[in-house]
Amino acid sequence: MKDTSARGDRLHVLVTGGAGFVGSHLCAALLAQGHRVTCLDNFFTGKRDNVAALLADPRFTLVEHDVCEPYEADAPLDRLYNLACAASPPRYQADPVHTMMTCVLGVGNMLALAERHGARVLQASTSEVYGDPAEHPQRESYRGNVSCTGPRACYDEGKRAAETLCFDIVRQARLDVRVARIFNTYGPRMQPDDGRVISNLVVQALAGRRLSIYGEGNQTRSFCYVTDLVRGLLALMEVDPAPQGPVNLGNPDEYTIRELAETVLRMTGSASPIAHLPIPKDDPARRRPDISLAARHLGWQPRVGLEEGLCETIAHFRALRDDRSSVEVDGPVRWRQFSGMRQRAGSLE
């Protein structure tokens, strides 16, 4: 594996899924550290707008490409962050076969690319590998409770298979790969219509519509602000030696969805009522990361509390609403025609 220390800190970094929510924040942070960044995206859920401000920087390159197809970089690569994959349930369920292929073929192609370049890899995995967890909070050692045939399986099992590929290659001493198990992350640049719980609730509250919560809203989630996550991803990529297995990155503060809805109502000043909808299949009841491994190996822990993060996120959605008043989110998320099929109602990653 290549030692880049002799070239100092300026690296060539490939970020797949770089035009997405997390990826665009990561690209900006890498540029701010002085690196050259190639952002590769098929714009399935990502948007050029997310990286528009970066295009003026000569160290930033935007490439349209689907990771399901092999890719060759035009210059030697030092680091590869593999984030390509829709993260919101309605989006990844829209074309489940493509989601599974993105997870498995995509990771295979990106690992092959990294191997040709001797680049270090960080794979974006997910708390969904724990499924509907029987262990709480979730430690990395927990093997999970995932349905391999349900509607979420294309993502959950796809990400699990991707981890398998990563650790097989590590065991064969072919690459240095780090795997981040990311828990719910939120912040500016989330799409208003992507069906994630924070975007749904904030958009509905700002529009004065009913806030859709599933069941009584007693399910719990832990919400990590995007800048905290990006700090964790950067730290995990650069720590030496590499942790032996996957590392949870998330905020351990746990809220019920009802508490979240009430906080959103208070912070937006909205008088929207709450609508109770049927709980989607395989929706996890509880989610909270045990982050002791990240604290020990990376010295990492989240800094941004829910209200502080929500404040930025609400401002983002307010600005979007004022820009374009066309987005409609009501009860089960309504979608415009997308990828040739009508979307289903989403749940809560």
Ligand X SMILES: NC(=O)c1ccc[n+]([C@@H]2O[C@H](COP(=O)([O-])OP(=O)(O)OC[C@H]3O[C@@H](n4cnc5c(N)ncnc54)[C@H](O)[C@@H]3O)[C@@H](O)[C@H]2O)c1
Question: Where do contacts with ligand X occur on this chain (CB under 6 A)?
Answer: 16-17, 19-23, 41-46, 66-68, 83-87, 102, 106, 124, 126, 182, 184-185, 349
The answer to whether residues 287 and 330 touch, using CB atoms and an 8 Å cutoff, is no
Residue placing its CB nearer to ligand X in the complex, 257 or 272: 257
Taking the complex as a whole, how short is the minimal distance between the CB of residue 159 and ligand X, in angstroms?
A: 6
Q: SS3 of 91, please?
A: helix
Taking the complex as a whole, how short is the minimal distance between the CB of residue 105 and ligand X, in angstroms?
A: 8
Locate 16 and state its tokens: 């797949």
Give the integer Cα–Cα distance in Å for 192 and 317: 7
Taking the complex as a whole, how short is the minimal distance between the CB of residue 127 and ligand X, in angstroms?
A: 6
Taking the complex as a whole, how short is the minimal distance between the CB of residue 254 and ligand X, in angstroms?
A: 15
Q: What angle do CA 206, 209, 213 make, to 5 degrees?
A: 100
Locate 335 and state its tokens: 């979608």
Of 92, 155, 214, 225, the active-site residue reads 155
Instruction: Report which secondary-structure segment, H or E, holds 112.
Output: helix 96-117
- 96-117 and 153-171 helices cross at what angle (nearest 10)? 20
Q: Is 155 a catalytic residue?
A: yes
Burial (CB < 10 A; 0-12, 13-18, 19+), residue 325, is exposed
Catalytic residues, which ones? 155
